[in-house]
Amino acid sequence: MLSVAEAESIVFNLVRPFDGDGDVETLELLSAFGRILAAPVKGSLDFPHWDNSAMDGYAVRYEDVKDCSAEKPKVLEIVEEIPAGKPPQVAIAGGETARILTGSMMPAGADTVVIQEETKREGNKVEILAAPPLKGNFVRRQGEFYRAGDELLPAGIALGAPDIAVLASAQCVRVPVYRRPRVAIFSTGDELTVPGEPLQPGHLIDSNSYALAALAAAAGGEPLMMGIVPDDPKVLKDAIARAILSADIVISTGGVSVGDYDYVERILSELGGAIHIKSVAVKPGKPLTVATFTAAGDTTEYQRKILYFGLPGNPVSALVSFWRFVQPALRKMAGFAAGWQPVFLSAQTRQDLRSGGRRETYLWGQIQLVDGGYEFDLAGGSHSSGNLINLAQTSGLAVLPVGEKFIPAGEVVRVMQVGLAIGS
């Protein structure tokens, strides 16, 4: 059985991040929000676009006003008003000034702005009552923040609201982003019922497909819901074959333990899949099958593989396996240049934590921010891998390494951050 670290490194090494032209789509600016930039963006405009005023005041020649004061004001003649959006019409000569407003273009000849508060206006004359501390004061210089042609945004970043603003300012209205990895999802099991359908005795509602689709979408994937597949090897084989044809990543749940109806691994081999992982020393989530397939007709030089994750059927095991192994793989494939790996932090546990000690154990609960430090609040109730009810609102998984059977309340533990934002 592989350790979690070994399994993680196998999975991550199997993933080829998107990089080719076939993985790029061009979207209208606002649709690109949340997507991953597929190519570095360069702007063709300096930022600011031209010298402009940072304040409401008067555009002056520094030489004219550098020695003035309230006792010895300098009187300048106002030759123009420059409101926002109107280019200046005249150049400022010695003894002259232009009334200027925030963001307005600086007139030729002027190099400094004196703020309104340090002036006194009378008709078309203005008294400058204080010398600016330096030449160029309150002038935003063209290209001071950004020079046209420099890299504006690098490839591989998720586009947030500030990035959308940057792209808008750079006139970049069509944005190259990576397509979202297609994630086919199905649940196996004769006992499963679609939510909303009447429940027959001995049956169980399929929650896994829905949780996994939500997680796949949140991790940047495009979920393809393939429904429930019975424990019938022929039907299962058809379903797996179809999923492989339509997806970059396939996730199934159930049918991967050693029960009489656990066919997934055998079928993967029959379909020509290479099996990389059969089980991992992790709790919950021990039976984990990871296989790869080569896409039919793939002629690209790098032969990207389709990843198959056969997760356990137990709802908690399925989710923990997704968070630990599938989510980072999906994010890596999606093109995140950095930050696709799981995030671990140190938190003081509020409760005693227990494990059998033989497998790396993940206990679910909430991460809380208290006085600037993290605390881990273990979910109440049973920590059975079949109990999905107390998994609600999970934001962290406390990790007990192999051999660590007991961590008392108050100790600092490693916690993997998942799902929701950290509470307080």
Q: 182-188 and 249-253: which strand pairing?
A: parallel
60: three-class secondary structure by DSSP: strand
Stretch that binds ligand AMP, among 14-22, 125-133, 141-149, 254-262 (CB under 6 A): 254-262
CB of 192 to Mg ion, least distance (A): 8
Half-sphere exposure of 288 (CA within 13 A, CB side): 31
Stretch that binds ligand AMP, among 139-147, 157-165, 247-255, 343-351 (CB under 6 A): 247-255
Name, in order, each residue with C-beta under 8 angstroms of 273's C-beta and a sequence gap of 6 or more.
291, 292, 293, 308
- What phi, psi does 208 have (nearest 5°)? -60, -45
Stretch that binds ligand AMP, among 152-160, 249-257, 300-308, 342-350 (CB under 6 A): 249-257
Site map for Mg ion, 349-388, x if CB under 5 A? ----------------------------------------
Task: Pick the binder of Mg ion from 43, 48, 132, 254 (CB under 5 A).
Answer: 254
CB of 211 to ligand AMP, least distance (A): 8
- The rounded distance, in Å, linking the Cα atoms of 114 and 56 is 8
Calculate the alpha carbon distances from 178 to 32, 119, 155, 156, 173 in Å: 10, 54, 10, 9, 16
CA dihedral (264, 259, 261, 191) positive or negative: negative
Is 206 near ligand AMP (CB under 6 A)? Answer: yes
CB of 253 to ligand AMP, least distance (A): 5
Is 189 near ligand AMP (CB under 6 A)? Answer: yes
- CB atoms closer than 10 angstroms to residue 144: 12
- The rounded distance, in Å, linking the Cα atoms of 136 and 112 is 4
Task: Pick the binder of ligand AMP from 107, 221, 313, 335 (CB under 6 A).
Answer: 313
- The rounded distance, in Å, linking the Cα atoms of 385 and 401 is 18
Is 191 near ligand AMP (CB under 6 A)? Answer: yes
By beta-carbon proximity to Mg ion, the closer residue of 258 and 421 is 258
Q: Of ligand AMP, Mg ion, none, which one sits near residue 321, judging by CB under 5 to 8 A according to partner kind?
A: none
By beta-carbon proximity to ligand AMP, the closer residue of 63 and 190 is 190
* Contacting Mg ion within 181-200 (CB under 5 A): 189
Is 187 near ligand AMP (CB under 6 A)? Answer: yes
The residue nearest ligand AMP at its CB is 313
By beta-carbon proximity to ligand AMP, the closer residue of 64 and 262 is 262
CB of 387 to ligand AMP, least distance (A): 11
- CB atoms closer than 10 angstroms to residue 360: 22
* Contacting Mg ion within 300-359 (CB under 5 A): 313
CB of 236 to Mg ion, least distance (A): 11
* Contacting Mg ion within 141-170 (CB under 5 A): none
- The rounded distance, in Å, linking the Cα atoms of 98 and 92 is 7
By beta-carbon proximity to ligand AMP, the closer residue of 131 and 264 is 264
b or e along 4-16 (b: 16 or more beta carbons within 10 Å of the residue's beta carbon)? beebbeebeebbb
Task: Pick the binder of ligand AMP from 154, 259, 272, 356 (CB under 6 A).
Answer: 259
By beta-carbon proximity to ligand AMP, the closer residue of 128 and 311 is 311
- CB atoms closer than 10 angstroms to residue 37: 23
By beta-carbon proximity to ligand AMP, the closer residue of 254 and 335 is 254
**Structure token pair of residue 340:** 């696709």
Whether 121 contacts 129, CB under 8 Å? no
Whether 40 contacts 163, CB under 8 Å? no
Number of residues that bind ligand AMP (CB under 6 A): 19
Whether 285 contacts 311, CB under 8 Å? yes
> What residue ranges bind Mg ion (CB under 5 A)?
189, 254, 313
> What residue ranges bind ligand AMP (CB under 6 A)?
187, 189, 191-192, 204, 206-209, 253-255, 257, 259, 312-315, 386
